[in-house]
Amino acid sequence: MQQDDLAGLEQKVGELERLTDALDDVPEEELVGTLGEAVELLAEINAGIEARLDATGHESREIGALLGEVDFGPFDEAMEDHEQRERTTGEPGA
């Protein structure tokens, strides 16, 4: 789903770039309409970006909650033992 969202955003950015490139050739009487299209595209792009940021924030909170439940005690003890051996022998990994 996120790939679809990203592809949609890329498509809208491409459309916006085409509009921007064509602004010099747009007749004056069509300029307001073309700029209106650009504003609409910018709003859609912004909404898409905000949705992705919200989803990322939600995923980040879920990961944080999961990590909060993990017991790192055994890992911490193993690291302390390893560091103690390094200090005692003076050799990394010994």
Indicate if the pLDDT at residue 92 is higher than 80: no
Q: What is the pLDDT of residues 2-49, one digit of tens each?
A: 677 778 888 988 998 988 888 888 888 888 998 999 999 999 999 988
Helices (H) and strands (E) in the chain, counts: 3, 0
Q: Provide the 10 A C-beta neighbour count for residue 41.
A: 20
Region 54-75: mean pLDDT is 88
The C-alpha angle 16, 22, 26, rounded to 5 degrees, equals: 120
